Amino acid sequence: MTKTEYLAELDRYLHRLPKADYEEAIEYFTEYFEEAGPEHEQEIMAELGSPREAASDLIVRLLDEGDELAYVSPKKQHNLVKIALIGLLAAPMAIPLLVTLLALVFTIVILAGAMIFTVAVIGFALFGSSVFMIVDGLSYVTSGLWTAFLGTGTGLLFLGVGILLLIASWEIAKMAGQTIISLSKWVLKRR
């Protein structure tokens, strides 16, 4: 089939359109062939499909989109169908993966919170027991100097470690909070 025969048959199918749409469609197809050149006419006809297919595609597009003339080749339509099918087939897998990812993030946040809480509780316990150890160590001054030094030194050690653990838990909590805020901003920016 030649370009002239193709356009003549296409013209016959497009006569159902309103006059403005008909003229615009014929002009579009004529220019499309002219831009491609005579050496690419067969490729264009293969891309568009039969004149009947090209006309019905165009009519459907005009009905869907109102007055706009938009033509999508059958090849592009086929690709759109493939993308839609991939999306539909991927949805059953994407939902469980999303739930798993959210559960993993939730678990990490809970574990981090539990670790911070544990370190803080140990810090408070050491801080509280250090007061008892210092008072107890000082009570042994009359019975033995070395025992008093050992009890008081252990109490001071507990006091230092307890304060360090409280400071560490506070700093870790601040870092975790800043990380969560940064990740939230990043996620909201990406949507």
Query: What residues contact 172, with CB distance under 8 A and at least 6 apart?
Result: 115, 116, 119
Measure Cα distances from 84 to 76, 80, 142 in Å: 12, 6, 87
Higher pLDDT, 65 or 184: 184
Rounded to the nearest integer, the mean pLDDT of the chain is 84
Q: What is the pLDDT of residues 153-181, one digit of tens each?
A: 999 999 999 999 999 999 999 998 898 88
Q: What is the pLDDT of residues 24-49, one digit of tens each?
A: 888 888 888 888 888 888 888 888 88
Burial zone of 126 (CB within 10 Å; 0-12 exposed, 13-18 middle, 19+ buried): buried
Residue with the two structure tokens 């939730």: 106
Least confident among 14-18, 89-93, 101-105 = 89-93
pLDDT for residue 75: 65
pLDDT for residue 69: 42
